[in-house]
Chain A
Amino acid sequence: QQQVKQSPQSLIVQKGGISIINCAYENTAFDYFPWYQQFPGKGPALLIAIRPDVSEKKEGRFTISFNKSAKQFSLHIMDSQPGDSATYFCAASMDYGGATNKLIFGTGTLLAVQP
């Protein structure tokens, strides 16, 4: 129940196209869903995050779509650029109490944007 399942494992998109990465979860107590971007040899960088009270959040070219009933959420990257080529991780967290907010990560999606 603590797992977050992420797909696809890898993705190739043409420059200017839309990249879509999907995640699914089981634990309905999760209430915070961030996406991280990681370049080789670097730590994950927080891209965008959403809470279950909204169905969509947009920041620049990045959009999270959230479907509470299906327990799924996805990241859309509009107008994908070669500089977006990286590994993307979805994650989930909840109020564990006692100021604990550990993240449960998906397995990652390697995105390659071809010029």
Chain B
Amino acid sequence: DAGVTQSPTHLIKTRGQHVTLRCSPISGHKSVSWYQQVLGQGPQFIFQYYEKEERGRGNFPDRFSARQFPNYSSELNVNALLLGDSALYLCASSNPRVYNEQFFGPGTRLTVL
């Protein structure tokens, strides 16, 4: 079975631009969570979506938004990019009503110049 897939792999943007990151969960998983991992730190929770509804939001500004589609794939959008948004953005797939395990994708490396 295919694991969690994310696109693009790498992305370079300039300050003020916006970016859209994409994620496809493991087949059968209905929840997608987004995490930001700054170099040298642990992942920080941004959003969780389950059955197309936002189920959790971390301590991130309103410049960050996300949505989940009927096929359970998801997009993370970040507007008005700042240098500090440079990070590895991770998508995690799970089925929270069945078990707690979350499986991560390879991530998207975003660099803001």
Name A residues whose Cβ lies closer than 8 Å to a Cβ of B.
6, 32, 34, 36, 41-46, 49, 89, 91, 93, 96, 98-108
Contact = CB atoms under 8 A, between A and B. Distances in A.
Contacts of A49: 100-101
Q: What size tier do the contact residues of chain B reach?
A: 20 to 34
Nearest to A94: B100
B31 A99 contact: yes
Given A98-B55, A99-B31, A102-B58, A42 B106 contact: yes
Contacts of A89: 42-43
A43 B105 contact: yes
A84 to B, nearest CB: 19
Contacts of A96: 56
15 contacts: A34-B101, A34-B102, A43-B104, A43-B105, A43-B106, A43-B107, A45-B104, A89-B42, A98-B55, A99-B31, A100-B96, A102-B48, A102-B56, A103-B45, A105-B44
Of A41, A43, A96, A108, most buried by chain B (CB within 10 Å of CB) is A43
